[in-house]
Structure 1
Amino acid sequence: MIDDHLLRDLTPQVLGVLVRRGADFAAAEDAVQDALAEAVRRWDGEAPDEPKAWLVTGAWRKFLDARRSASARVMREVAAHREPAPGPAEQADDTLLLLSRCCHPALSPASAIALTLRAVGGLTTAQIARAFLVPESTMAQRISRAKRTLAGERFERLGDARTVLRVLYLMFDQGFADDRTGGDLSAEAIRLTRQLVASVPRDPEAAGLLALMLLHHARRPARRDDSGRVVPLAEQDRSLWDEAMIAEGVDLLQHALAMDRVGEYQAQAAIAALHDDAASAETTDWPQILEWYDELARLTPDSPVVALNRAVAVGHVDGPLAGLRLVEALDPGLPRRDAVAAYLHERAGNRAEAARLYKAAAQATVIEAEHTHLLQQAARLNRDR
């Protein structure tokens, strides 16, 4: 049986090769999809010795065939690109190059992020729509418009660096939120961010983003119990956390902060580092975490997610009722708002209201593990009343 993970890993690399050779994005993506379909038919359940070489050669041939059938003029233009002889694939990893090129200046940041999550991250349109909090049909139209915008573009200009960081962050976050099926996506985001940091060593936000990823990813072994149940941060067995990964994240963060150009990813990493540094939930340095949330709110004043998370910190420092006042001022439709309100109500002793809100939050989430966890929280409070 063909390894689906192998095909998913190779797809952006092969797509990157075609784009680097001069193929426009939409045509390259079509050619790669055709080559993947042929691979499923012809590999007979087992990949060849050089699967990337096979896919690159097959996709390039299909791209040439499609262009030749369009017109004789296009055929002459593409014929200038000599088709490579059969043999080992190019060893350069074009995935990061593809990501940067897809963050093209001709695209809005939102469209660039959506397109690159699809091409590089391998996310479905539905997964990307959930990340953007929009209907799937809206996201499908956005991706289609982005492809049309890039039609004919030769990707000669690098994409915006901030957009590239945002794409990598969303890619990691998607995998981290649904870690049973998205763990590989988180690992790929970390791998790409390592490449980015190596290529721009003086960019503190790139280093801050990698630190943030590592400090969260280090907790992954403790995020579920033996039955698969989600374990909240406060209840996790901290001895299972990856200490080496935490140390690497802290070192990266200190290096980034020393450049004295604090950005949102560095601030988020600082908050994660304070959580990781605490020996227990009870010893968490919430006043310092709140200070970093204040800084993060200054850096991202229009972010409702930051405002929601800051309300939790306020609830620990100034009391749950103070945190609830902040939550009540936010949009009722904001994802996780009910879950945060439930947590703060429980801390305030309002168990019935907390149970109601946990149940409402469960009904709003599309992540199965989170849905189950929130229902269990509601059931626990109803049982203990």
Structure 2
Amino acid sequence: MALFNKKKNEPPPKEMKQYITGAGGTIVSKSILEGTSKLKWLFRENSEYGNGWVALGDTDTQEYVDNPDNMTIVDFNTLANIEPAVVNVFYMPVGSDLELCSDPSGNYFLDTRDGKEIREPVKHPVQLAFEKNLKFLNQDNYPSEFFQGLFQTGGRLETFIPGNADFPTGEVVLADPLAYLGGEYATYLDRKVPAGSYPLELAVLHSELAGLRIAAARLIVSDSPAVRYEIAMPKGKKPEELGQPGVWTLFGVDTGLACCTDVKIGEEYRDFFAQWHKENPGKNRYDDYFAALFEESRRKFPHVQNQGGSFLSWQLPRTGHHVIMFASGMGDGIYSAYWGLDSDGEVTELIMPFMNPEFF
């Protein structure tokens, strides 16, 4: 009876907490897992085994760790459940060499390379790059070399033209096509382009950090080289008014897609989908209309697109006008566009930058 009661009163096994999804395997000394030692050393190496992290205990000797039978690979979350402080350093790079320390405030890591204490979570490299990129965007002006460098094929950048965009009136509008095109929250530009049809070029970035991304888009209005750039102002506003109350230059993206098109096409787009929604109550214009078209575009040009499609050259069914939609860099945000002007002050291009490739 006594044995029965002892088993009955034992607490249930502790459920393992999932701190980081897809964290991968970590080499850990069995002494840590068995509780005969406490985590002391954590370092990350360039390894074919899991995520590269290796954890050693405070009683582990060189002889102990040299014996492969004393080391094993477990999910990183297994180690995190033993010592949660490891979650703070998960995103540190290969070459990191850390010592677990403790004081009245709790456990923390000491970087043995520079003596820095690590008490707060280290951000994912993509998040750091994203935040840096966010601060970089929407400046009043940039060096011409920045814009020109976006569309020079080589290294990690590749340029691609999905097709021509039509401008029947020459009045330019920038918008998220799924959220704002044809509505009051689109950004209507003050400058015009001559009525016509123009190539729209994409700067495709192949990044080890961020994957395949569209870093910028460019409407090519003429072959004349741009000698200077100015920020594209909304209708009725001039660059010299920038900074005054109520004067902004931004267009918003809330679905990860952007487009540069004509005001008339924006109106045609709005009218088309107003009728489409009447005929398709309860349906979503992306899932039930555009998704299949984006996937078809991806199958046609797979080397410059992500799964599901990164751009679409679409012809409005009723009017035949072409509009090109494209992914906006790292996704949702607020962006500015910039006019490229030739030596006579005429528009030669309109550039929409989403990313600084140097950060990624």
TMscore range, shorter length: under 0.3
Q: TM-score, normalised by structure 2?
A: 0.27
Structure with greater strand percent: 2
Structure with greater helix percent: 1
Q: Which has the higher contact order (CA 8 A, sep 6+)?
A: 2
Q: Larger Cα Rg: Structure 1 or Structure 2? A: 2
Q: TM-score, normalised by structure 1?
A: 0.26
